[in-house]
Chain A
Amino acid sequence: MSDDNGNDDVRGAFDRLRHDAQQVDTMAALRRLDVSTRPRWVGLGVVGVAAAALLIVVGIAVRAGDDSQDSVTTEQPNPRSGDPTPDDGAPRPTGIDGTAWVMASGAGDEGVIPIVDGWPITISFDDGMLGGTAACNGYGGTFELDGDALLIEALSQTEMACDGGGASDVMRSEALFLRALISVDRLTIVEDRLTLSGPSTELVFDLAEPVPLAEFVGQLWLLDTIIEGETASTALGDPATLQLRDDGTLRGGTGCREFSGEYVTAGASVQFTTFGLTGDCSAELQEQDNQVVTVLGDGFTVEINRDRLTLSSRGNEGLSYTAIDEVPDFEPTATVTLEELQSATWTFLEGVGPDGEITPPERFPITMSFSDDTISGIASCNPFEASFELAPDGLTTGPVEGPQEGCEVEEANTAQAAFSMALERVTTASIADDLLVLTGPDTDLVFTSPTP
């Protein structure tokens, strides 16, 4: 690509990076993937991990209940094995599967576990896996349930630090909870109350409200309020929508960037499994963008009251939406004005047409300028003219006319023909900074306005 000219040092840096990356320990990374997705048994009994603000528990097997019972190892479904579903004969917990809970009170070896407002401790169970939010961080592990005897193993957690007011309480809540969870060996459910208990531990949970999927999914929502703790502010920028579809995909906007992705419901919360963002934000909208991405990206609980949707994430961060019927002008329109088109002589930078890439030779550029109804310029080899019409929804062009004298450089003739064909297919025009982009079916032409 001709744009690379003058970027030899950049290419050199990227080449070196690519080379260095080839030297990393790939096999060790592959083995780590095993550790993180397959439970390991390293022994029986309770194994504590040194108290630390951030706790990582690896492969710890806590044998639950009666020691005379045989332990059963379960292999979690792992795509690397090629088995879509496990069929190892291991007992699967019943009744608890698919449930989600919020801790109401708890105490462990070190006393009462504080619950900090806005930083709930949650747990959910699904297909041999348990996990949730431990105030600040997410955690997860595997479990087996035999009667009321509970075996939790392979616990791991994320290890971000949560900042803001009361951070130390949040981290303390988390540390005490996770240390208590390690010692749990019994699970009982009475009505809507779950109790996890161990020799000196009792963690009591209330049944969490399930995600109101029927009302939430499919509906189009428009962001109007950003909630940060006690503060609520009005959403700015472009209409920031959110729509989850029942096929597991989602789309929306932050006010300056658009996103799409996929989601799952995990217990009482919704998690985005992929989350792709496009666009750039002005400084003014950066904070809002960040807030939207944080709430949606971290996972959130859903509350719907009539046409109002409230998404809540950790630390009392949230987003409030109203139900709408259609996206209000989601795509920017009227991307170009006649004045902008007439503001410069445009030089073709690069592009494709129905015949493929258009590549005028170096000394035979394509240039053009706009009058009120005509585009005129040089199409690499010969001058040309074409009528055009600017409408709110795009720009259309008429036939390209002009002499057809051959140039001595064959590439110029080829470029002229390809460009003429492409220009006639143009249906939209947009200008961003110094670039004019004309597009149409199989056509994409980029022009630059040389700096005066």
Chain B
Amino acid sequence: MTRSDTDEPTLEVVATFDALFVTEYPKMVALASAVSGDRAHAEDLAQEAMSRLNRNWTKVQGFEKPGAWLRRVTINLALSQKRKLLSEAKALVRLGTAQPTLAAAPAEHEPVWAAVAELPRQQRAAVSLHFLEDRTIDEIADILQISPSTARVHLHRALKKLRDRSEQEDLG
């Protein structure tokens, strides 16, 4: 697996919170949407993740890999089963009377998202990091705080399931 050569500035090199927000927020929206399967609330989730980064900035900016921290928080929020945290995010968003601005998925992609939504949680997170950010196995392991071999297995299984589904649809 190779890392994209067109990387934008990452969390590791961006110095100020504002610049970092502008760079990272859209990525967290995409990540939250893919992992939660819920486009309508992806911005709420990303907002909450960025808000937590803001609150913890003094601590997090000293981390070796603050980007992994932010992604972990976003993924956890997106995976939160009872969505209580989502409600929290929504409340913060309501302060600014925000409406979702993320476009709905095109109809032709709906089967893909339905298949992604059926993946177990860790597989969903791994495959999202793989496709959205071209993350390597080591980086996925770092973000999800699992061993590289576990990350490899999660990703492999997710890709296999998605491929099997695609082949079945083609046959069907």
Task: List the interface of chain A (C-beta within 8 A of B).
Answer: 1, 3-7, 9-18, 20-33, 35-37, 56, 58, 78-80, 82, 84, 137-138, 156-160, 260, 273-280, 290, 293-294, 297-298, 349-352, 430, 432-433, 435, 437, 439, 444, 446, 448
Contact = CB atoms under 8 A, between A and B. Distances in A.
A37 B156 contact: no
Contact of A35 (B79, B95, B109): B95
Contacts of B30: 17-18, 20-21
B54 A78 contact: yes
Given A28-B98, A160-B84, A444 B21 contact: no
A5 B56 CA distance: 40
B47 A12 contact: no
B17 A349 contact: no
Contacts of B150: 278
Contacts of A439: 147, 149
Contact of B47 (A23, A29, A260): A29
Contact of B43 (A6, A29, A36, A82): A29
A51 B103 CA distance: 33
B86 to A, nearest CB: 8
Interface of B is mostly: helix
Given A156-B92, A276-B76, A444 B149 contact: yes
Contact of A273 (B17, B52, B120, B162): B52
A14 B126 CA distance: 13
A274 B72 contact: yes
Contacts of B121: 280
Nearest to A433: B157
Contacts of B73: 274
A276 B102 contact: no
A31 B96 contact: yes
Nearest to B110: A13
Nearest to B145: A276
Given A7-B159, A79-B17, A297-B84, A279 B26 contact: no
Contact of B92 (A32, A293, A349, A352): A32
A335 to B, nearest CB: 11
A31 B18 CA distance: 10
A450 to B, nearest CB: 12
A29 B99 CA distance: 10
Given A14-B128, A30-B25, A33-B50, A278 B166 contact: no
Given A21-B27, A29-B25, A29-B47, A3 B159 contact: yes
Interface string B48-73: 00111011111001000000010011
5 contacts: A6-B166, A24-B25, A138-B88, A160-B83, A439-B147
Contact of A280 (B50, B61, B120, B166): B120
Contacts of A23: 101-103
B132 interface: yes
Contact of B91 (A33, A159, A298, A435): A159
Contacts, number: 208
Contact of B82 (A16, A18, A32, A290): A290
A24 B31 CA distance: 13
Contacts of B172: none
B156 A7 contact: no
Contacts of B46: 29
B159 A24 contact: no
A23 B102 CA distance: 7
Contacts of A448: 156
B51 A278 contact: no
Contacts of B98: 25, 28-29, 32
A137 B78 CA distance: 20
B10 interface: no
Contacts of A18: 27, 30, 132
Interface string B118-158: 00111000011011100000000000111111101101110
Contacts of A432: 153
Contacts of A13: 105, 109, 112-113, 116
A273 B101 CA distance: 28
Contacts of A350: 152, 156
Given A13-B112, A17-B34, A26-B22, A159 B94 contact: yes
A326 to B, nearest CB: 22
Contact of B166 (A9, A26, A277): A9
Contact of A24 (B43, B90, B109, B122): B43
Contacts of A280: 120-122
A17 B152 contact: no
A257 B72 CA distance: 16
Nearest to A294: B82
Contact of A32 (B33, B52, B95): B95
A432 B166 CA distance: 24
B95 to A, nearest CB: 5
Contacts of B54: 33, 37, 78-80
B26 A278 contact: no
B167 interface: yes
A35 B1 contact: no
B150 to A, nearest CB: 8
A32 B93 contact: yes
A28 B93 CA distance: 10
A444 B136 CA distance: 14
